[in-house]
Chains A and B, each alone.
Chain A
């Protein structure tokens, strides 16, 4: 049973426009969420995170929105740049701290067209 779902496997957007990457989760115990970005032949890199006590977190061009009632979060990238083309993973944890464990989604491949 997939607890973190990224239902759209790919997304293509024009450079300069907004990219919206969606993520849904089923486990109501999840209370911390992260986004990681991955380029081919490299390890993932941390992008942004959000705690369940917030509904929005912003870092430069990247904003994550959390809708707890809908068990849905989204990553907005504005403006999108060709260097943003990568696979984006949504991840969730039921708690923070030393023994926290992440559950990852399958990832979304973002292509930003020049």
Chain B
């Protein structure tokens, strides 16, 4: 099992550019989520999904879109990148909900200039 994979590992964008952060898991988990971690702060939930076709907002959803067309994949889209979105992004999955053991990917470090 590869677990949770994220691509790319590093990305530099200019303000206004768009991009998609990829996340995939091979554990057949229903629950997937995206967090961002900023210096000196804990992880903050951006969006989550309880199953294919179902997504919902977390604590900091503005500027991000998600979709869940398959159980395995949960991409995060930045429609028009802003410097405030400079952060490390983590994708996670679990069998059922965030209070179940979540398995995190290695993260994507994004810089927006």
Contact = CB atoms under 8 A, between A and B. Distances in A.
B107 A100 contact: no
B42 A97 contact: no
Interface residues on A, range: 20 to 34
B59 A45 contact: no
- Most B-side CB within 10 Å, residue of A93, A97, A101: A101
State the main secondary structure of chain A at its contact with B.
loop
Contacts of A100: 97-99
A42 B4 CA distance: 12
Contact of A102 (B4, B40, B41, B99): B99
A5 B105 CA distance: 25
Nearest to A34: B99
Interface in A1-35: 4, 6, 32, 34
Interface string A78-109: 00000000000101010111111111111100
Contact of A106 (B31, B42, B96, B98): B42
Contacts of A97: 96-97, 99
Contact of B45 (A32, A44, A89, A101): A101
Contacts of A98: 30-31, 50, 96-97
B59 A101 contact: yes
Contacts of A4: 42
Contacts of B41: 106
A89 B99 contact: no
Contact of B104 (A6, A45, A93): A45
A111 interface: no
The listed residue with most A CB atoms (<10 A of its CB), out of B30, B99, B107, is B99
Contacts of A101: 45, 48, 58-59, 98
A44 B90 contact: yes
Interface of A: 4, 6, 32, 34, 41-46, 49, 89, 91, 93, 95-107
